[in-house]
Chains A and B, each alone.
Chain A
Amino acid sequence: MTTHGGSEPVFCTVVPPHVLDRLARNDDPALSGPARRTLLRDSELRARRRVTTEFRLAAAPAAKAPSDQPLRTIYDCAHGTDLPGAKVRSEGQDPGRDATVNRAYSGLGATFDLYLKAYQRHSIDGDGLPLDASVHYDEGYNNAFWNGEQMVFGDGDGEIFVDFTNSVDVIGHELTHGVTQYTANLTYYGQPGALNESMSDVFGSLIKQYSLGQTAAEADWLIGAGLLAPGVTGAALRSMKAPGTAYDDDVLGKDPQPSTMDDYVRTGRDNGGVHINSGIPNHAFYLFATALGGHAWEKAGQIWYDVLTGGELQEKAFFTDFAGLTVKAARERFGDGGDESQAVKKAWEQVGVRIL
């Protein structure tokens, strides 16, 4: 997938296989090329997951062990929309004058650090994938996203949002979309999409906690603190501790996240409410991590990571599927009948997710 040129269409992995099949047969190489590569990559991923599941083995080891150092590159879109833009900072270069570039660079480093030190994962793909990010995308752009290959950050319009590199958990959130893409590849729609979003919030928050050395009790459990412009009434974009309370503003409206299944929102918008219903698994993680206490990335994060990367989580998994796997992972890692498996069960029960 690293062979994509900058100007070629990017096919997100949520494109249905039958559409990809049709595109791959298209006479226009601009359409068939990326579709063929996506199909190839998808089949490799499926094979790798199957091997991992059936044999409980990691994928075939790389010929050369990946480095323990990240390989970061920051690009500047200079308020345009062509990706990736001009290269402005490469790995090992000193900080420059642009604080946005420097924040993106250190945020990529913080993300790389958590995955390597806590979970022995080498970068997004587990195999040393270079980390690329583009900043100053478009003008006054109120968003950040992962395009399947790299992160993209807007500056915010200054009225509602400020610079999206301000929050390290946002940087971790975007990169975790990459980790999910390379592992469970949760479909970005409905419940699996909300799980995909929740993985990004969970590990985004853990990256912040790890970089600050906070315990679960000390953490703010907010996503996007420091992202709202002065004058907006709110603390952040989402709260894992208290979903639905992050903001309440006359322009932005009120945080729509539910914390339990009783308030699950059925909608076709926002890819079936992926940023709304993620509040439920987010809150389950918060309840679990705070019940255990200590550093959330050590036990609670490890169990979530085991499920995300273990090969048993299906692309179209529902909350209940994920919950069941976390109980199994807690038993496998920390023993049956231990505090961990009891606490994780209780957390899911509190948010109304049944474990089958």
Chain B
Amino acid sequence: MRIQVRRTGGFAGIERRAEVDTAGRPDADEWHALAERAVAGGRGARPSGVPDGFSYEITVDGERVYAADPRLTAEQRTLISRVLKEGA
């Protein structure tokens, strides 16, 4: 499973993106469960966020959903921070 996160906006307006490929990872099952729940809570269209809030695109095996601060689900928040931290 390929999990991609793109974060745009924010006070600085600096974009960040990262990707995790779960193939061969020992914790792949955990990633899959987290990614599925994060996608289930996402929106099909870019939500209007708040001034200076981050907005996010989460793409899992080609399926893309959108989310924006401060209204993220707990799973989205966890997935986004893990992908941006551990991903390449």
Contact = CB atoms under 8 A, between A and B. Distances in A.
Contacts of A97: none
A276 B13 contact: yes
A252 B14 contact: yes
Contacts of B71: 9-10
B14 A146 contact: no
Contact of A143 (B15, B54, B81): B54
A235 to B, nearest CB: 13
Contacts of B10: 142-143, 145, 275
Given A145-B53, A148-B50, A271-B55, A10 B70 contact: yes
Nearest to B68: A12
Given A142-B12, A145-B52, A161-B12, 18 more contacts: A12-B48, A12-B50, A16-B48, A142-B10, A143-B53, A143-B54, A144-B11, A146-B51, A164-B11, A173-B11, A200-B51, A224-B11, A237-B13, A252-B14, A269-B9, A271-B49, A274-B13, A276-B13
Given A15-B48, A188-B48, A147 B12 contact: no
Contacts of A181: 51
Given A81-B70, A147-B70, A152-B70, A270 B51 contact: no
Nearest to A278: B13
A269 B70 contact: no
Given A15-B48, A147-B53, A270 B70 contact: no
B59 to A, nearest CB: 14
B2 interface: no
A316 to B, nearest CB: 14
* Interface pairs A-B: 5 shortest CB-CB: A275-B13, A145-B52, A177-B51, A14-B48, A269-B8
A45 B18 CA distance: 41
Nearest to B52: A145
B50 A147 contact: yes
Interface string B52-63: 111100000000
Contacts of A116: none
Interface of B is mostly: loop
Interface residues of B, number: 22
Sorting the interface of chain A by its residue count into under 10, 10 to 19, 20 to 34 or 35 or more gives: 35 or more
Interface string B26-52: 000000000000000000000011111
B77 interface: yes
B70 A275 contact: no
B66 to A, nearest CB: 12
A83 interface: yes
A225 to B, nearest CB: 13
A143 B52 contact: yes
Interface in A138-166: 138-139, 142-148, 152, 161, 164
Contacts of A270: 8-9, 13, 15
A170 interface: yes
B70 A146 contact: no
21 contacts: A10-B70, A10-B71, A81-B70, A83-B70, A138-B77, A143-B54, A145-B50, A145-B70, A146-B50, A147-B70, A174-B52, A181-B51, A188-B48, A188-B51, A200-B51, A224-B12, A269-B8, A271-B9, A271-B55, A274-B9, A275-B10
